[in-house]
Structure 1
Amino acid sequence: MKNKRRSLYLHDSNSEPIRLQAYLAHCGVASRRASEKIILEGRVSVNGSVVTELGTKVTSNDKVLVDGKEISLEETKRYVLLYKPAGFVCSQSDEKGRRVALELLKDSYSERLYNVGRLDMFSSGLIIFTNDGDFAAKLSHPSAEIEKEYVVETSMPLPRSLAEDFKRGVRVEGVFYRAKDASEINSHKMRVVLIEGKNREIRRVFENSGAVIRSLTRVRIGSVSVGDLKPGEFRELTQFEIKELLNLCKN
């Protein structure tokens, strides 16, 4: 597999007490929000005792185990942009045996990476993987209002009013969906820009209008575009791109 990779090494030597969920995120276990769930499920122990309190603080001197395996702070921070092919799920593992996007990175990175946000199994396009919990938390929070741009191709001609309806707002089964921008590229293809990105938002709006989606591809996250990446390829974000993404966050 072709690997378009550029190295970026950022170091974190913080030994001050931090909240347990933040520590797990800094160790690359999962995002901070997902780490909270792991703690509440009783899967974390500190110095031999199971901890389920989210306010617990630890340092790098404490012995922290997740599911019985010791974890530690990772000095090298990774920020990887992957062009996820359709057919892969965005999770650490999948109980149904489906292919996991993270598998495309495992041969190139020893760090424990996790995805920032999601793309459904049948969608393709850009997704960021990192082991930096603060970066992931800031980008993935709804208040960040980071733009995500998609190209949607349909098997039949697009309903003529769909783009304008989506920009004004559409209610589907009691849920209100509105794109920041939407415009036709041609009779079978539309560009859609979302900020909030509710679960399966584009698919539900298109299905509600009778438009059958043939392909759905995320081509931009904030200031980072797909460029010349192809499905299955990845590269590390540059330091400039990381700063630009953080600067775009409104939270």
Structure 2
Amino acid sequence: MPHAYSQAKKAHESGNNEGIRLQKILAQAGFGSRRKCEEMILDGRVEVDGELVTELGSRVDPKRQEVRVDGSRIRLNNRHVTLALNKPKRVLSTMDDPKGRYTLRDIVGDKYERIFHMGRLDYDSEGLILMTNDGELSQHVMHPRYEVAKTYVVTLDGHLSGNVCRRLVRTGVQLDDGWIKLDQCSIIDANRETTIVKVVLHSGKNRIVRRIFGAIGFPVRRLVRTQIGPIKLGDLKPGSYRVLSDAEVRSLSKAVGL
């Protein structure tokens, strides 16, 4: 059976105008003007179904075929949307709650069909949660194989020394379910009563940051997640959300192997 793109190419050469011009798809995906997208094709940066495309005028069926630029897959389904949401404290990381407590649905409403959160923050934690109705992207973001780095700003009870911070990166700490290490730990501010630290780790285990610092005698007063992979919380206000740009979705997709 001929390769899917080979079939499309033959259809184009025979005068069949089915499909969408490749440079138009690239432009719609946010890669710039059609002229710039044509240059990308001519430079050999674009693949369709695993085959390099260097000819202009080629047409693609976005419902059936896969397009990659510089090895990164382009999301072609316009119905898919991915959101960055700033979860306040005392909001459940779920879409519905039988007890009537405030949930993510109370923030995003019913505007987006079948949208769901990728990962969670506990009830008293704040910050970045990603949501999408792209099932494939969601599976990759949450799969242990593709655990992306997550960044937190954490306020602790007590004065944490730099040596302890470095030890959490170098050797880690033993919890009930095994040893765990931080990827990065840096002190932002400290006094006799509290310490503010920035931590980065890949683990997606439940309440992992609180458990790590609780295990060494530094209870968490406040926890804010500020970044997931390449996506940053930025100046997004608590209780609000924004739609990720095409470039952000591409960078997130690349980070999780899509």
TM over 0.5: yes
Say which structure is richer in helix.
2
Give the TM-score of the pair, scaled to structure 2.
0.65
Gaps of at least 5 residues in structure 1 are 1-7, 15-73
Once the two structures are superposed, the pairs formed by residues 113-128 of structure 1 within 5 Å of their partners are: 113-128=115-130
How far apart, in 1, do the equivalents of 2:168 and 2:101 lie?
A: 32
Within the candidate set 104, 108, 130, 1:105 is matched to 108
Structure 1's 105 and 205: CA in aligned 2 closer, same or farther, altered over 3 A?
A: same
How far apart, in 2, do the equivalents of 1:174 and 1:127 lie?
A: 25
Deviation, structure 1 residue 76: 1.4
Instruction: Report if the CA contact (8 A) 2:166-2:185 is conserved.
Output: yes
**In the alignment, structure 1 residue 189 sits paired with structure 2 residue 191:** no
**In the alignment, structure 1 residue 180 sits paired with structure 2 residue 187:** no
Aligned to 1:41: none
- Structure number with the bigger relative contact order (C-alpha 8 A, sep ≥ 6) is 1
Work out which of the two has the higher radius of gyration on C-alpha atoms and give 1 or 2.
2
| Matched residue SS, 2:254 | helix
**In the alignment, structure 1 residue 162 sits paired with structure 2 residue 164:** yes
Instruction: Report if the CA contact (8 A) 1:162-1:209 is conserved.
Output: no
How far apart, in 1, do the equivalents of 2:213 and 2:197 lie?
A: 11
Q: CA RMSD in A?
A: 2.4
How far apart, in 1, do the equivalents of 2:97 and 2:160 lie?
A: 34
| Matched residue SS, 1:219 | strand
Within the candidate set 119, 122, 133, 2:135 is matched to 133
**In the alignment, structure 1 residue 92 sits paired with structure 2 residue 99:** no
Deviation, structure 1 residue 97: 3.0
How far apart, in 1, do the equivalents of 2:99 and 2:138 lie?
A: 26
Gaps of at least 5 residues in structure 2 are 1-27, 30-60, 65-76
Deviation, structure 1 residue 75: 6.3
How far apart, in 2, do the equivalents of 1:208 and 1:218 lie?
A: 20
Structure 1 vs Structure 2: percent identity of aligned residues? 33
Matched residue count: 184
Deviation, structure 1 residue 124: 0.4
How far apart, in 2, do the equivalents of 1:137 and 1:235 lie?
A: 21
Give the TM-score of the pair, scaled to structure 1.
0.67
Aligned to 1:238: 245
Runs (4 or more) in structure 1 with deviation over 6 Å come to none
